[in-house]
Amino acid sequence: MTCREVAELLSSYLDDELDPEAHGLVEAHLQTCRHCNAVLEELRQVKSALQSLPVLEPPPELHARIMGAVAGAQAAQAEVEELETSPKPGRLRWKLPSLRRGGFRRVALALAACLVIMILSSAGTLFWARRYDAPLTSKGEADRSMGVPGLEGEQFFGMAEMPSGVEGEAIQRSGESGAEWSGEDYFTDAATAGIERKLIRRARLTLEVSQGGVDDVSRQAIHIVRSYQGYVESSSMSVAEGSQRSTAFYMTARVPSEHLDLAIDEISVLGRVTQEDIAEQDVTEQYVDLEARIKHKVQQEQRLLQIMGNANTVGELLQVEGELARVRTEIETLKGKQNVLEKSSAMSFLSVNIAEEGSRRSSPSYWGKIWKAFVEAWQDLAMFLARVAPAAILLVAGFFLVRRVMRKPGNG
């Protein structure tokens, strides 16, 4: 193998992406060629320089931005889907008239007439729709307040009035089922010590509020979170420019677990709840396990301290000290993990999504849908005609010219 051939393969060789045969050949060449070895070394340095690039943490607002945008898009998508399922104007079918004598002219005339009508009427619709659209959207609010009674809203009002004893009950219940671990020896003292169940709760709430209300409601939601000694981890407000402007708000917050339900209830009544889910993850087992391991390690630490007291030589002392340091690090790590669990279960995750009702327009009337489809169809058609018009006019003019020129000799 020549140096040139090898040079082509060195990068793949470096990445271990060569088939065994080529790999062997390159390896053999490298045994003898200093030059190629030097090149390989340089390539390796390039690779390791790139490999050692640090992984950068994205700015903290990235997550909220993404989720805000996605939530906004989901709302917009719902609107599109609704439009797609709404009735579309039926497809027109007609038979082409026979193109024998006279047919051409009739077709051309009819087409020209259609063209004129279409251009005029679509321009009219476009103009009219523009003028009409503004009052239509602002009227929408009145429609909604009549059409959609606050069904969910009332339900959640009911829940909000429930006594706060609900959580207490949940914890009691957890005490009963704690028995399933009692067979394991480390659990018994923990159980007798009356350890409560560690639950990590994640709640997600999607609200719809009236148009323009996102700003206000989001502020109230943040206020509610804070009033329960919670805090907002990240929040974002995004404005989607679609067929109409729609604002969406997204936040992730942490709320003390015992207040989570109350906070949800209070936020729920700020708008129409379209989605609410709460997921619970039971980490009691992990928690107890960590506790037992910490206890074990602490005992080990005590023993090592004893041993250190009895150590005779410096060598022994150093050995024990090294061991002691290791055990202490482990204890710290375990405690750190336990803290994380403790905090996660003490502070529930709550993400709130607030979108404008208008962006989804929950239930436009039947006629409203037809009107919308009608207007849009004409708008599209107007657009099409505007694009096509110049070519069409030229074509029609050309067609008549050609006809005239062709016919003259035939007639005369």
Partner 1 sequence: MALQNEEALVERASRGDLSAFEALVRAYETKLYNVALRMVSDSEDAMDIVQEVFLKAHQALPGFRGDSKFSTWIYRICMNASLDHLRRRKKAQVYSLDAPVEFSDSEVQRQVEDPVDSTEDLVEAKFLGEKLFAILDDLEPHYRAVLILCDVQGYSYQEIAEILDTSLGTVKSRIHRARNILRKLIAAEQILPSYVKQDGRRDEA
Q: Where does this chain bind partner 1 (CB under 8 A)?
A: 3-4, 7-8, 10-12, 14-15, 17, 35, 38-39, 41-43, 45-47, 49-59, 62-63, 65-67, 69-71, 73-74, 77, 200, 202, 204, 206, 275, 277, 279, 281, 283, 344, 351, 353
Nearer to partner 1, 207 or 304 (CB): 207
User: Closest separation between CB of residue 25 and partner 1, Å?
Assistant: 16
User: Closest separation between CB of residue 319 and partner 1, Å?
Assistant: 37
Nearer to partner 1, 140 or 271 (CB): 271
Nearer to partner 1, 328 or 337 (CB): 337
Nearer to partner 1, 169 or 277 (CB): 277
Nearer to partner 1, 36 or 270 (CB): 36
Rounded distance between C-alpha atoms, residue 273 and residue 156, angstroms: 9
User: Closest separation between CB of residue 180 and partner 1, Å?
Assistant: 18
User: Closest separation between CB of residue 216 and partner 1, Å?
Assistant: 23
User: Closest separation between CB of residue 69 and partner 1, Å?
Assistant: 5
User: Closest separation between CB of residue 338 and partner 1, Å?
Assistant: 13
Nearer to partner 1, 22 or 307 (CB): 22
Per residue, the 3-state secondary structure of the chain, as one string, reads CCHHHHHHHHHHHHCCCCCHHHHHHHHHHHHHCHHHHHHHHHHHHHHHHHHCCCCCCCCCHHHHHHHHHHHHHHHHHHHHHHHHHCCCCCCCCCCCCCCCCCHHHHHHHHHHHHHHHHHHHHHHHHHHHHHHHHHHHHHHHHHHHHHCCCHHHHHHHHHHCCCCHHHHHHHHHHHHHHHHHCCCHHHHHHHHCCCCCCEEEEEEEEEEECCCCHHHHHHHHHHHHHHCCCEEEEEEEEEEECCCEEEEEEEEEEEEHHHHHHHHHHHHCCCEEEEEEEEEEECHHHHHHHHHHHHHHHHHHHHHHHHHHHCCCHHHHHHHHHHHHHHHHHHHHHHHHHHHHHHHHHEEEEEEEEEEHHHHCCCCCHHHHHHHHHHHHHHHHHHHHHHHHHHHHHHHHHHHHHHHHHHHHHHC
Nearer to partner 1, 45 or 306 (CB): 45
User: Closest separation between CB of residue 19 and partner 1, Å?
Assistant: 12
User: Closest separation between CB of residue 55 and partner 1, Å?
Assistant: 6
Nearer to partner 1, 14 or 237 (CB): 14
Rounded distance between C-alpha atoms, residue 206 and residue 80, angstroms: 19
